[in-house]
Amino acid sequence: MSRIGVFVCHCGENISATVDCAGVAEAMSRVPGVVHSVDYKYMCSDPGQTMIKDAIKEKKLDGVVVSACSPHMHEPTFRRACAEAGLNPYLCEMANIREHCSWVHEKSEATTLKAIDLVHKMVEKVKKNQPLYSIKVPVTKTALVLGGGIAGIQAALDIANAGHKVVMVERSPSIGGHMSQLSETFPTLDCSQCILTPRMVEVAQHPNITLYTYSELESMDGFIGNFKVRIRKKARCVDEKLCTGCGLCTTKCPTKKIPSEFNEGLGMRSAIYVPFPQAVPNKPVIDKTQCTFFLKGKCKVCEKVCPTKAIRYDQEDEIIEVDIGAIVLATGFNVLGAEHFPEYGYGRYRDVIQGLQFERIASASGPTSGAIRRPSDGTEPETIVFIACAGSRDEAKGIPYCSKICCMYTAKHAMLYKHKVHHGKAYVFYMDIRAGGKMYEEFVRRAIEEDDVKYIRGRVSRIYEEDGKLIVKGADTLLGHQAIEIRADMVVLASAAVANDGAEELAQKLHVSYDPYHFFAEAHPKLRPVETNTAGIFLAGACQAPRDIPETVSQASGAASKVAALFSQSELTREPVIAVVNRIAPPLYSTCTGCALCVPACPYQAIEMEEIKNRDGVVVKRAAKINPGLCQGCGTCVALCRVKAIDLQGFSNEQVFAELMAL
C-alpha cells in the first residue's frame, strides 16, 4: 500500500477564496493510500516546505502531492524539498488547483469538488510513479550567433569576452546589419557608424570569434549543449586569404548600375562589390546574378585587374560543420515592402520613400553624402511630410502591433532635416506619440518646440503627384477632422517593422516557436524574455519583436549572460522525462514491431532503429531506440506507436490511465 502525503496550499487567498482547502485536505485523507493530508497558507514558503520534509520523514511517505499552482511555477521547488528529505523528486507531483480551478471558477461547492477531483487524480498518478534519475549531458562550450547586426555583435562580444568560443554567421557579405545603415541615432544624435564600426572590427579581430559572412544556417541537429550545425558558406568567388581589400576590382567592374541593397536602392553598386566602405570583412563578393562573366561567359575584368590574383570564378559553396553548445538568434527585422502602400504611391512616386531610405539620404556615407535631396531630381525638398504608422497598428494591413521604433526615428528624421534645411517645413502625421524611454519624450518635445516640426494628429488618406509636387491629403483629428492638404516635395513613410525574410523557415529548422507575424517567441513574456522554448536557443534583438538599439543591446547582453551561465558548467542536468522503448522477455524481446514509423515522426531526430541480439549474437529483432540525450519528452512517438511499445517516463500509460480512472 502506498504512503502518500497530500499538501493543499491556500496560496494566500488565491485558492482559499473560492476553494475550501481544509475540505479538500479532509476529503483526501479518506482516499486509500493517503496517510497524511494537510492544508497550509503558503506551501511554497520555508515553513510550508519544512512541513513537507518533516512529513516525509515522520510518516515515511513514498509519494507527495502538492495541490497548489501550476507545476510550471513551483514544481522544481517542491521536488527539491522532497529530494532534501530523501524522497526521489519524481515521486512528487503537483495538482494545479489555482489556474485550473480557483482562478477560473466562482466560490461554490462545485469548485471545491473540482479541486478534490484534480487532487485525487494526482494521488492516483503518484501511486504509479517510479523513481527517476536525472540525465547528465556534456556541454560544448562554443556559441553560435546567427545574425551580425548590433544584436549579434553585442551577444558575440559578450560571450567571447567571457572566455568562450563564438561562431558568428551573417547572411549578407558584411556584418553591421540595419544599424550600419542609420545616419544618427536617437535620442543623442550620435553618428551610428561611429559607434558601431569599432565593434564590428572588434568582432573580426577577437581571438574567440570565428566570423562567417555571406553564410547561412543549413541545418541544426542535436540539443542543448550538443547541437550539430551545418553552415553554408556561399561562394564569394574571391579568395579571402589573398584579397587585400584594395577595391580595384569594384572600381573597374563594368557592370555598375545595380541598385545597392545597403543604400536601399538609392545608390548603385557594381557586380563585384563591397556593400559599404566600412564593411567587415572588407572583401568583395561577386553577385552571380548580375556579373557579366556568369551571365554571358566573358568579361573577367576583375580577374585581370586584381593585383593579388584573388578572383576565383569556380569557387563553390562550402559546408562547414561545427559542434555548438548554445545558439543566439539575432536575425533582426525588415521593413514592410512597397506593395503594401498603394494609397501612398510608394514604389510609384520616387519621392515617396521609407524610413531606411531617408536614413541613407541623411547619412554622411550615403548616396548624397548626407545632403537632403529628392531621389527624383536631386533638388533640396522645401517641404517634407513624415507619415508615422505606415502599416503599423493597421489591421487592414495585417499588422495590428506597434512597430515601436517609428515615433522616435520619425522625430529624429524631422529634426535632422530641419538641422540641414533650416527654412524647410517638416510635417509629421501621427496617431499617438509613443516616446517611452530614457530621454525619449524630451527628444520628441525638442523636435516640436525647438526645431519647429509640425505634428498633425491624423491619418493620410492618399498621396498623388501634381506639377512635380506630392499632394498629401489627410485629416487633423484634433481640429474636428478638418481636411488638410499639404503640397510636399518629399514624403517619408515610417513603414512597419516586420519579421525578416526566411524567419519562419529558420524557426522550423531550429524548432523554435514563432508568433503569427513570424517574430520568434520567447519562453515567457516577462520572466524568460531572452530564452526560447527550445533549451539552449536564445533570442536577441528585433527578431523577437520590433526593438530600438538600447533595448536590443541590453537584450543581447542578457542572452549572452544566459549562454555564459550555461557554459559555466561542464555537464548539464536534464529532466529524465523522456520516451523509452520497452523490453520484455523472449521471444518478443520488445513489443516494438520495428515498423520504424516513429523515426520520421520524431521532431528531434531522437529515434533510430537498433538490432536486438540474443546471447549467441544472432539478430532476433529490429526495434526502435530512443537517444536519451536528444529526446525532449514531447510524446509524439508515444501517441503514434500502435502497440504502445513506447512509454514516456513520468507520464507513462499507467500513470495517465490511473489519473483518468480517478475522475
- Shortest Cβ 399–other proteins spacing (Å): 21
Binding to other proteins (CB under 8 A) within 573-592 occurs at 588, 591
Q: Does 600 bind other proteins (CB under 8 A)?
A: yes
Q: Closest Cα partner for 510 from 500, 501, 520?
A: 520
CB < 8 Å & 24+ apart, contacts of 466-473: 470/345, 470/349, 470/351, 470/352, 470/385, 472/385, 472/427, 472/429
Q: Does 130 bind other proteins (CB under 8 A)?
A: no
Which residues are 427's β-sheet partners? Answer: 385, 454
Residue span 500-529 as binding mask against other proteins, x where in contact by CB under 8 A, dash where not: ----xx--x---------------------
**44, 320, 580, 595: residue in contact with other proteins (rule CB under 8 A):** 595
- Alpha helices (runs of H) in 162-223, residue ranges in sequence order: 192-205
Select 219 or 244, whichever has its Cβ closest to other proteins.
219
Q: Candidates 22-30, 58-66, 198-206, 594-602: pick the segment binding other proteins (CB under 8 A).
A: 594-602
Q: Closest Cα partner for 129 from 179, 92, 83?
A: 92
Q: Candidates 274-282, 469-477, 488-496, 600-608: pick the segment binding other proteins (CB under 8 A).
A: 600-608
Query: What grid cell was written down for 189?
Result: 544624435
**640, 650, 651, 662: residue in contact with other proteins (rule CB under 8 A):** 640
- Total count of residues recorded for the chain: 663
- Shortest Cβ 319–other proteins spacing (Å): 21
**622, 625, 650, 651: residue in contact with other proteins (rule CB under 8 A):** 622
- Shortest Cβ 511–other proteins spacing (Å): 11
Binding to other proteins (CB under 8 A) within 401-420 occurs at none
Sign of torsion, CA 6 12 18 23?
positive
**44, 235, 597, 612: residue in contact with other proteins (rule CB under 8 A):** 597
Select 13 or 505, whichever has its Cβ closest to other proteins.
505
Residue span 456-475 as binding mask against other proteins, x where in contact by CB under 8 A, dash where not: --------------------
Select 195 or 595, whichever has its Cβ closest to other proteins.
595
Select 228 or 622, whichever has its Cβ closest to other proteins.
622
Q: Does 605 bind other proteins (CB under 8 A)?
A: no
> Does residue 496 contact residue 474 with C-beta atoms inside 8 Å?
no
Select 564 or 658, whichever has its Cβ closest to other proteins.
658
Q: Closest Cα partner for 268 from 255, 253, 257, 279?
A: 257
Q: Does 598 bind other proteins (CB under 8 A)?
A: yes
- Shortest Cβ 477–other proteins spacing (Å): 36
Other C-beta atoms lying within 10 Å of the C-beta of residue 322: 17
In angstroms, how far is CA 422 from the centroid of its own chain? 42
Per DSSP, 478 falls in state G
How far is 393 from 339, CA to CA, in rounded Å?
A: 17
The backbone torsions φ and ψ at residue 478, rounded to the nearest 5 degrees and listed phi first, read -85, -15
- Shortest Cβ 322–other proteins spacing (Å): 24
Q: Does 654 bind other proteins (CB under 8 A)?
A: yes
The backbone torsions φ and ψ at residue 232, rounded to the nearest 5 degrees and listed phi first, read -95, 115
**256, 304, 419, 644: residue in contact with other proteins (rule CB under 8 A):** 644
**594, 628, 635, 650: residue in contact with other proteins (rule CB under 8 A):** 594
What does 238-251 look like in DSSP terms, one character per residue?
Answer: B-TTT-----HHHH
Select 343 or 611, whichever has its Cβ closest to other proteins.
611
Select 197 or 331, whichever has its Cβ closest to other proteins.
331
Q: Does 662 bind other proteins (CB under 8 A)?
A: no
> Does residue 131 contact residue 154 with C-beta atoms inside 8 Å?
no
Q: Does 542 bind other proteins (CB under 8 A)?
A: no
**12, 277, 601, 611: residue in contact with other proteins (rule CB under 8 A):** 601
Q: Candidates 289-297, 432-440, 463-471, 639-647: pick the segment binding other proteins (CB under 8 A).
A: 639-647
Give the type of residue at 639. A
Q: Does 657 bind other proteins (CB under 8 A)?
A: yes
Give the list of residues 6+ apart from residue 529 with CB closer than 8 angstroms, or none.
522, 539, 544, 555, 558
Q: Does 309 bind other proteins (CB under 8 A)?
A: no
Report how far apart, in Å, the C-alpha atoms of 663 and of each of 113, 121, 286 are: 11, 7, 68
Q: Candidates 232-240, 261-269, 310-318, 598-606: pick the segment binding other proteins (CB under 8 A).
A: 598-606
**One-letter-per-residue 3-state SS of 107-175:** CCHHHHHHHHHHHHHHHHHHHHCCCCCCEEEECCCEEEEECCCHHHHHHHHHHHHCCCEEEEECCCCCC
- Shortest Cβ 578–other proteins spacing (Å): 19
Q: For other proteins, how many residues bind (rule: CB under 8 A)?
A: 25
**596, 612, 634, 662: residue in contact with other proteins (rule CB under 8 A):** 596
How far is 108 from 19, CA to CA, in rounded Å?
A: 7
Query: What grid cell was written down for 258?
Result: 545595380
How far is 126 from 190, CA to CA, in rounded Å?
A: 61
- Shortest Cβ 597–other proteins spacing (Å): 5
Select 533 or 591, whichever has its Cβ closest to other proteins.
591
Q: Candidates 224-232, 432-440, 552-560, 638-646: pick the segment binding other proteins (CB under 8 A).
A: 638-646
- Shortest Cβ 334–other proteins spacing (Å): 20
- Shortest Cβ 96–other proteins spacing (Å): 23
Q: What angle do CA 402, 404, 409 make, to 5 degrees?
A: 130
Q: Does 23 bind other proteins (CB under 8 A)?
A: no
> Does residue 62 contact residue 90 with C-beta atoms inside 8 Å?
no
- Shortest Cβ 663–other proteins spacing (Å): 14
Give the type of residue at 592. C
**59, 136, 583, 642: residue in contact with other proteins (rule CB under 8 A):** 642
Report the DSSP pairing between strands 226-233 and 318-324.
Answer: antiparallel
Q: Does 611 bind other proteins (CB under 8 A)?
A: no
How far is 324 from 333, CA to CA, in rounded Å?
A: 25
Q: Does 219 bind other proteins (CB under 8 A)?
A: no
Site residues, other proteins (CB under 8 A): 504-505, 508, 588, 591, 593-601, 603, 609, 622, 640, 642-644, 653-654, 657-658
